[in-house]
Chains A and B, each alone.
Chain A
Amino acid sequence: MIKKLVFVESKVFFPYTNQAVETEILNHVGRDELVIYLWANNKTVFIGKNQNAFSQCDILALRADGGYLARRFTGGGAVYHDKGNLNFSFFAHRENYDKTLNFSIIVDALKSLGVTATLSGRNDMIADGKKFSGNAFYESKDACLHHGTLLIKSVHANVEKYLRVHPEKIATKGVKSVSSRIVNLTQINPAITPEKVVNAIFIAAKKKFPQAEIETRNFYDFDRKEVKNLIKHYGDQNYILGDDIHYDFNFVRRFEWGTADIRVKLSQGKIEKIKIYSDALDTELATLQEKLLLGADIKTYDGEYSDIARAIEQALEESDNNAWPSVLTDN
């Protein structure tokens, strides 16, 4: 039974800090508590736990605009966050965990702001027939998490820009995103602000549990050392871009010598496996290219994993001279 409501409001917009605090809350949620955590990020593309980063996000465009890429530990597809998108997280022990209750708190809160919200499928909330909230869930034998987005005044154009998937980048594995018609809550009621939604959620939760003790936990009260370690974890490129399962990706490029379908598997920043299928007249070329690229250290190229496709492309452009690709180092 829930005896205590705990409210936590984030004071920062750095995605990895917000993820770190979210995990810290999950790890310490009390047996009789319902914790509600509200947070927003600066420009960030959030991919699902089991997604291939390259196939879901235009990482180069995102980084060029100073955006962040982050991977959450819940499932589902890629979403775009900015300060116009408020995120909510509900935490409870398994015996108190109730998605329907969580959804009803959000629905009640929005109703008080003049928005009629309904559930759509398992994971979405819609208003006026369009999606404004995507939800994801994590369940362990102890603590459970239900979190979701609320589009309030997010920049729609950026969703298109960063989540646009290049048709030639086809993930061989991993969970695919599904695109939806989306709406900002301010399009329904222009007076809505993230601050008003925060207050409305806290009020709606209190109404559900009039007997519960209320605690407002300060964002800075969490164990600093643990939060710091978690920030490092969520900001780690190996975590964000994926281990070797997530790294299996392929792309198709046209070169002077023909079209190539390139499949790459990376391990610790190096090309562990590579297969090139090309229509080049020189049938030995692909085999030679594979030999040249195998074991190459991609990580050292600009220090960014996101340049993998470009690095390989450039290497292949040079490789028809049978020269060692200058953009790669052999370790």
Chain B
Amino acid sequence: MKLMYAKTHEWVAIDGNKAKIGISDHAQHELGDLVFINLPAEGDSIVAGESFCDVESVKAVSDLYAPVSGRIVAVNTELESAPELINSDAMGAWICEVELESEGDDLMDEAAYAEFIK
């Protein structure tokens, strides 16, 4: 499994041709307490670099951007009634899983991302 990060602060865990997507702990901290998430739908295609989901926190409504391209095969519907799971465990609270087509440009590994957010 390979864990990568986008400049827009989403993480992607790539395992073979499947990839799970979430947002980084840094991102959840910047957003503040989440009160709502508009989840994408199973079967939707997402495109790297384009918005695939949005979240409402106590601070703002923010778009999330796809770190990879692919077709969504699973959605973590638990987040619908409990978006705060992203605040408590950003790396565990995956948003959706895709059948991977291609990775986005400029993805960073953990060390590079840690440097990026410094």
Contacts and interface: CB of A to CB of B under 8 A. Distances in A.
Interface stretch (A28-36, A137-145, A258-266): A137-145
Contact of B62 (A122, A136, A139): A139
Interface stretch (B18-26, B52-60, B93-101, B107-115): B52-60
A173 interface: yes
A67 interface: no
Contacts of B51: 140
A141 B60 contact: no
Pick the most buried of A49, A50, A137, A173: most chain B CB atoms within 10 A of its CB: A50
B61 A122 contact: no
Interface of B is mostly: strand
Interface of A: 48-50, 73-75, 122, 136-141, 173-175, 245
A138 B36 CA distance: 14
Given A173-B80, A173-B81, A141 B61 contact: no
B108 to A, nearest CB: 16
B36 A137 contact: no
B35 A138 contact: no
A180 B58 CA distance: 16
Rank and list the top 9 A-B pairs by shortest CB-CB distance, nearest first: A137-B60, A75-B56, A50-B36, A75-B61, A140-B63, A139-B62, A138-B61, A139-B60, A50-B56
Contacts of B63: 139-141
A49 B61 contact: yes
Given A50-B38, A75-B36, A173-B80, A140 B62 contact: yes
B8 interface: yes
Contact of A175 (B8, B56, B59, B65): B56
A139 B59 CA distance: 10
Q: How large is the interface on B (under 10, 10 to 19, 20 to 34, 35 or more residues)?
A: 10 to 19
Contacts of A74: 60-61
Interface of B: 8, 35-36, 38, 51, 56-63, 65, 80-81
B60 A50 contact: no
29 contacts: A49-B36, A49-B56, A49-B61, A50-B35, A50-B38, A50-B56, A73-B61, A75-B35, A75-B36, A75-B56, A75-B57, A136-B60, A136-B61, A137-B60, A138-B60, A138-B61, A138-B62, A139-B62, A139-B63, A140-B51, A140-B62, A141-B63, A173-B80, A173-B81, A174-B36, A175-B35, A175-B36, A175-B56, A245-B80
Contacts of A49: 36, 56, 61
A122 B31 CA distance: 12
A5 B95 CA distance: 39
A167 B57 CA distance: 26
A134 B63 CA distance: 22
Contacts of A138: 60-62
Contacts of A174: 36
B49 to A, nearest CB: 9
Contact of A139 (B35, B58, B61): B61
Contacts of B8: 141
A122 B59 contact: yes
Contacts of B61: 49, 73-75, 136-139
A49, A73, A141 interface centre (most CB from chain B within 10 Å): A141
Nearest to B30: A139
Contacts of A50: 35-36, 38, 56
